[in-house]
Amino acid sequence: MQPLDPETGRLALVSMLRERSPLGALKILYSRVGRFFQIPMPAFHPFVVGGPQSNRKVLVTERDKVKWRNADPVTDLLRHGVLVTDGEEHDHYRKLMEPPLHPSKLNNYVQSMLAHTDRVTSQWRDGQVVDILVESRKIALLIIMDTLFSVDVWDDLPRIWTPILKAINYISPGPWIIWRNIPRPGYKKYLKQLDDYLYEIISNRREDSPKPDLLQHLIDAGLDDNHIRDQMLTMLIAGHDTSTALLAWTFYLLGSHPQIHDRLVHELDESVGETPPSASAGWQPHLLDEIIKESLRLYPPIHIGNRMVAEDMEFDGNCVPAGERLFYSIYLTHRDAEHWENPHDFHPERFEHGRKQPPYAYVPFGGGPRGCIGAAFGQAEARLVIARLLQTFTFELVNKNVHAHMGATLEPRPGVMMRVSKRK
Ligand code: HEM
């Protein structure tokens, strides 16, 4: 491992403290060392790459040289989930789960997405301050469980909320990164509660009549309960924690940019008025789509792709030897000054119709054969939920001092506190 020059080390430390996040340090390393560097920590020194060329290598052209499966808590939790398997096993699950998430199926989910949004906001009092991070999680959880497993978790939210947060915390970066065998008490009970909940759903369905959803696909394919649980937990975590972050960051950005917020409300009033938004091709809320894209650029919920290198790889003349950990950084790629003007600014117009970026310069959903299976679902959901919320409420940001926390996803901490007022 190359030692850092002292000035870069000093700047990285200052930036990390100022931003209250290691992302500050990574930005300094990227701008001063380049698109290839190694994190200089004694017991944890992954290689980090960014930029279109490296992303293309990791995701497409040399993807056979990297593996997903590793000894991290995420693999321990998700076991044989599609997210953490490789090779034929991965391809088998991927093929099985693609049909219910195909863009052509999204229209089936519109009513559920809108109804769950309204259900959560029906609890808000006019003028109340709510944490949009928490409210978004409720909405995203209700939607994912209803659309993919036909389960209404409204009454069960108090029962599953803490177990789900514990599961997310279990796979988030923490001291285990350095002290691999550090005991992690305090999780077992909650992870079992979550498992029990999922096994109960599977068992009920086996006795119930079939339903046209993802769970049924898994049952009909002959998977046993353990393998169904792995795919369900994968979709539950990957499919709601990301959407939660996207919704919360978007409202934070809108709250910090009132003029853009007002233009968006105007666009929605013009295009949908008081009727519920739809997923139809005829509805083209350009500014909303640009805002979602820009939110995903600045705060990609999955900010790095985590891989183990199985065969030596080369990036711009630098070697990453087999056996090492490699991160492709979505966050740093999205803030690369060579491809993005004023990369740290919120500027949705950069996605205006016709403006194009080089391939793999914008990768909020990863790419290649392991790109996000729920990309179309996640984008449709964000569009509908944001439109519905802005149609029914106005939002005023109360806490401007928000920083990006590196959890399982990139989260706005300490939350996005907003005063919500009913629109007349
Ligand atoms: C805003 C929403 C979302 C974002 C930003 C997002 C982002 C990503 C990214 C970047 C990857 C690739 C990770 C890598 O290369 O290491 C990924 C994979 C994945 N995502 Fe998403 N995701 C979102 C929504 C969803 C939804 C709604 C679902 C499920 C319904 C989902 C399920 C998955 C799964 C299962 C994978 C693994 C695919 C595979 O390995 O074949 N995601 N996601």
> Which tens digits make up the pLDDT trace of 307-361?
999 999 999 999 999 999 999 999 999 999 999 999 999 999 999 987 788 999 9
Q: Does the C-beta of 85 come closer than 6 Å to ligand 1?
A: no
Ligand 1: distance of its center to the CA of 412 in Å?
Answer: 19
| Alpha carbons 139 and 128: distance in angstroms, whole number | 18
| Helix 110-121 with 375-392: angle, nearest 10 deg | 40
Q: Does the C-beta of 78 come closer than 6 Å to ligand 1?
A: no
Question: Do 335 and 225 sit in the same domain of this protein?
Answer: no
Model pLDDT, residue 179: 87
Residue nearest to atom 18 of ligand 1 (CA): 372
Question: Do 22 and 121 sit in the same domain of this protein?
Answer: no
State the pLDDT confidence band at 2, using cuts at 50, 70 and 90: low
Nearest atom of ligand 1 to the alpha carbon of 234: 35
| Alpha carbons 110 and 68: distance in angstroms, whole number | 33
Q: How many domains would you assign to the chain?
A: 2
Model pLDDT, residue 130: 98
Q: Are residues 225 and 202 in contact, defined by beta-carbon separation less than 8 angstroms?
A: yes
Nearest atom of ligand 1 to the alpha carbon of 97: 35
Instruction: Write phi, then psi, for 414 (nearest 5 degrees).
Output: -85, 10
Q: Does the C-beta of 81 come closer than 6 Å to ligand 1?
A: no
Q: Does the C-beta of 329 come closer than 6 Å to ligand 1?
A: no
Instruction: Write phi, then psi, for 19 (nearest 5 degrees).
Output: -85, -5
Q: Ligand 1 pocket: which of 92, 242, 247, 303 to mutate (most atoms <8 Å of CB)?
A: 242
Nearest atom of ligand 1 to the alpha carbon of 59: 15
Question: Do 282 and 337 sit in the same domain of this protein?
Answer: no
Rounded mean pLDDT, 378-399: 97
Model pLDDT, residue 95: 96
Q: Does the C-beta of 235 come closer than 6 Å to ligand 1?
A: yes
Model pLDDT, residue 273: 81
Question: Do 27 and 147 sit in the same domain of this protein?
Answer: no
Q: Does the C-beta of 100 come closer than 6 Å to ligand 1?
A: no
Q: Are residues 76 and 194 in contact, defined by beta-carbon separation less than 8 angstroms?
A: no
Planar angle of CA 240, 246, 247, nearest 5 degrees: 90
Which one of 335, 363, 391 terminates a domain? 363
- For residue 108, the domain's CATH number is 1.10.630.10
| Alpha carbons 273 and 262: distance in angstroms, whole number | 15
Question: Do 14 and 86 sit in the same domain of this protein?
Answer: no
Model pLDDT, residue 310: 97
CA 39 to chain centre: 23
pLDDT at 182 > cutoff 80:
yes
Rounded mean pLDDT, 401-418: 96
Under DSSP, is residue 104 helix (H, G, I), strand (E, B) or coil? helix
Model pLDDT, residue 189: 96
Domain residues for the domain of 6 are 1-67+303-363
Which one of 317, 336, 363 terminates a domain? 363
Q: From 102, 84, 178, select the one nearest 374 (Cα to Cα).
A: 102
Question: Do 207 and 245 sit in the same domain of this protein?
Answer: yes
Q: Does the C-beta of 301 come closer than 6 Å to ligand 1?
A: yes
Is residue 355 a part of any domain in this protein? yes
| Alpha carbons 374 and 109: distance in angstroms, whole number | 13
Percent of the chain with pLDDT over 90: 86
Residue nearest to atom 21 of ligand 1 (CA): 372
Question: Do 356 and 377 sit in the same domain of this protein?
Answer: no
Ligand 1: distance of its center to the CA of 74 in Å?
Answer: 14
Structure tokens at 393: 């409420």
Average pLDDT along the chain = 95
Model pLDDT, residue 395: 97
CA 396 to chain centre: 24
Which one of 363, 388, 413 terminates a domain? 363
Model pLDDT, residue 302: 98
CA distances 59 to 68, 84, 267, Å, are 11, 15, 36
Model pLDDT, residue 405: 95
Is residue 163 a part of any domain in this protein? yes
- For residue 59, the domain's CATH number is 3.30.43.20
Rounded mean pLDDT, 11-34: 91
Question: Do 157 and 255 sit in the same domain of this protein?
Answer: yes
pLDDT at 1 > cutoff 70:
no
Question: Do 400 and 326 sit in the same domain of this protein?
Answer: no
Rounded mean pLDDT, 139-151: 98
| Alpha carbons 14 and 20: distance in angstroms, whole number | 10
Question: What sign does the dihedral 5-11-12-17 (CA atoms) show?
Answer: positive
Question: 194-238 pLDDT, tens per residue?
Answer: 999 999 999 999 999 999 999 999 999 999 999 999 999 999 999
CA distances 161 to 9, 97, 201, 301, Å, are 40, 25, 16, 20
Question: Do 311 and 409 sit in the same domain of this protein?
Answer: no
Q: Are residues 382 and 221 in contact, defined by beta-carbon separation less than 8 angstroms?
A: no
Ligand 1: distance of its center to the CA of 374 in Å?
Answer: 6
Model pLDDT, residue 280: 76
Ligand 1: distance of its center to the CA of 354 in Å?
Answer: 26
Model pLDDT, residue 343: 96
Under DSSP, is residue 67 helix (H, G, I), strand (E, B) or coil? strand
Question: Do 102 and 10 sit in the same domain of this protein?
Answer: no
**Long-range pairs of 7-12 with CB within 8 A, sequence gap ≥ 24:** 8/32, 8/33, 9/40
CA distances 46 to 43, 54, 300, Å, are 10, 15, 20
Is residue 95 a part of any domain in this protein? yes
Nearest atom of ligand 1 to the alpha carbon of 85: 40
Q: Does the C-beta of 307 come closer than 6 Å to ligand 1?
A: no
Question: Do 163 and 283 sit in the same domain of this protein?
Answer: yes
Residue nearest to atom 37 of ligand 1 (CA): 83
Is residue 368 a part of any domain in this protein? no
| Alpha carbons 369 and 361: distance in angstroms, whole number | 17
Percent of the chain with pLDDT over 70: 99
Is residue 235 a part of any domain in this protein? yes
DSSP string, 274-310: TSPP---TT---HHHHHHHHHHHHHS-SS-EEEEEES
| Alpha carbons 165 and 275: distance in angstroms, whole number | 35
Is residue 102 a part of any domain in this protein? yes
The identity of residue 51, as a single letter, is G
Contacts of 179 by beta carbon, 8 Å cutoff, 6+ apart: 43
Q: From 67, 89, 66, 94, select the one nearest 79 (Cα to Cα).
A: 89
Q: From 414, 392, 394, 390, select the one nearest 402 (Cα to Cα).
A: 414
Q: What is the Rg, in whole angstroms, of the alpha carbon atoms belonging to the chain?
A: 21
Q: Are residues 254 and 133 in contact, defined by beta-carbon separation less than 8 angstroms?
A: no
Q: Does the C-beta of 151 come closer than 6 Å to ligand 1?
A: no
| Alpha carbons 57 and 360: distance in angstroms, whole number | 10
pLDDT at 278 > cutoff 90:
no
State the pLDDT confidence band at 422, using cuts at 50, 70 and 90: very high
